Amino acid sequence: MLFIQTGPTQRILHVSATRILPWYYAATLVFLLLDYFGGVNVRVAFLDTLPTARMAYYGICFTCFGLMVWRPAWTTLIGTFESLVTMIALIFGMAVRVMVPNDAIFSENAAIVTTEQIVNFVIAGAVAYFAWVKGLRALTGR
């Protein structure tokens, strides 16, 4: 629920995952356009070095959106599953770069992980974890 303060009274707006998640996945088109045409990678900076995996991730997000439009009752399940996939991809994407650096990093004296990637990891990881926990609670009724 979202609380909005309006003077001495307080209104409560009901904001649920079934209303927010489809818009989040619909925004994938905006993130895709920003990524490929604007050079700003907001959503999947952790997959910068893997362009095929990055495009597959965008495809998964579009598939999630399509499933939510087709079967709105599945929205919480789809969001929970996708957030788990995102967390796993974030962890492996960051861990592989940190634990198995390539020769180009040493020859160019470059950073193993960029600031943009760290910020994306923290933000996307926190959002994915929050969505996963909330989704599990909604699915299990706790």
Residue 103 has pLDDT above 80, yes or no: no
pLDDT for res 18: 60
pLDDT for res 121: 85
Average of per-residue pLDDT across 40-57 = 80
Residue 59 amino acid letter: G
Residue 47 has pLDDT above 60, yes or no: yes
Average of per-residue pLDDT across 35-52 = 79
pLDDT for res 1: 44
pLDDT band at 5; cut points 50, 70, 90: very low
| HEC assignment per residue over the chain | CEEEEECCEEEEECCCHHHHHHHHHHCHHHHHHHHHHCCCCCCCHHHCCCHHHHHHHHHHHHHHHHHHHHCHHHHHHHHHHHHHHHHHHHHHHHHHHHHCCCHHHHHHCCCCCCHHHHHHHHHHHHHHHHHHHHHHHHHHCC
Token output for 84? 């788990």
pLDDT for res 119: 81
